[in-house]
Structure 1
Amino acid sequence: MIRAFALLATLALAACAPVQGPLPASTLPVDFLLVDKSDRTLKLFRNGEEVKSYVGLQFGASPAGHKQFEGDERTPEGLYTIDTRNPASSYHLSLRVSYPNAADRAFAEREGRDPGGDIFLHGQPNWLPSGRMVGDWTDGCIAFTNAEMEELWRLVPDGTPIEIRL
C-alpha cells in the first residue's frame, strides 16, 4: 500500500515537470499548406520543410478545373489564405479558404455570374456518427476525416497561405 502511494506520488510529480527540449513537430503550427487535387494530398510545411501530409482528400462533386461560379461544385485552384475558423460548423470543424480573390471576382463579374464562396477545409458531416462519406461530395470544399480535421484545427493558424493546384 505504501509502495503504491509512493509510486502514484512520483508519477503525479513527473507529470508536472516542465517539458525539456522542443515540442514534437506535430504540435507546432505550420506556415504553408499545399493541396494537390490530382494526388488528393495536403502537405503541411514549416519553414519550407514538409512536416505532415494527408491523403485521400475529398473535393467538390466536379473536382476537375478551377472553381469559377456559385454552384459549379468545383474546388478552387490558386493561392489563398486560411482566413477564419468555425468551431460550430455543420462539418466537424472548418477552416475557411479566402476564395474568391480579386481575380476570381473579376472573372465572374465579366461573365455576369456570382463566383460563390464559403470554401472550407472541413471534417465529415456532423450527422455522420463515424467513418467517412464516399467519393467527392462537397460543394467545392476539401473534406478530411474528423480526426484529421481536429489535427488541422490545432496546426493551422488563421492567415496561413494555402496553394491549391491540379
Structure 2
Amino acid sequence: MERSVTTLASLLKRKFTASQVAAVAGMNIETLRVWRRRKHVVLEADGPGWTRFTFNDLMLVVTYHRLVQSHCSHAMAEMIAGHVLIGLKDRWEEVLNADTGVFCFCNMHHDTADLDIQTIFGLEALNMKMSAALRDPERGPAYQIVDCSAVLQNVLTKATALDRDTAKAK
C-alpha cells in the first residue's frame, strides 16, 4: 500500500478552507471565526467572498493556537505569531531542513511594551540566548519559546492525514 505524504512545496501553493485550517490546528472552527472577527489573526488572503487561507495563514493560526493553549495572552500570542510569520514566511523550506531546529524566542519584560522577540536557528544559539537573558538583571524571568520546526512538522503530518482522509472519502 502506497503511503502518500503531502509535500511542503504542494502546501505552499495551496489554499485552505476554514474547516481544513481548524482541523490541522486541532481547534474548533467557531473559535477560528471568533479570532478572525476580533482580529486576533489577520490573514494575508482576506478579501470578499469565501475565505481561503494561504499556507502562511495556516502557520499563523497554528502558532497562535499553540501559544494561547500554553496560557499566553491573546495580545502576546498575536505579537509572537506575527513575528514568526514575518520572519519565516519565505523560509519554510529552510526551517524544515534546519539541523537543530528553528525557534522563536520571546523575552518579556515586566510589561508587553518592552519585548525582545527573535528568530533563532539552532539549539546552541537558543541556549546562548537563554543564558544571556537569564543573566540580564533588567529583564523579568518570563519567556516564551516556539519551536517553529516542530510546528511546521506537525502541520505537514496533519495536512498529510487530512489529504489522505479526503482521498478516502472520494
Q: Is the shorter-chain TM-score for this pair beyond 0.5, marking a shared fold?
A: no
TM norm structure 1? 0.27
Q: Which structure features the higher share of strand residues?
A: 1
Normalization by structure 2: what TM-score? 0.26
Report the structure, 1 or 2, having the larger helix content.
2
RCO comparison, higher one (Cα < 8 Å, 6+): 1
* Structure showing greater Rg: 1
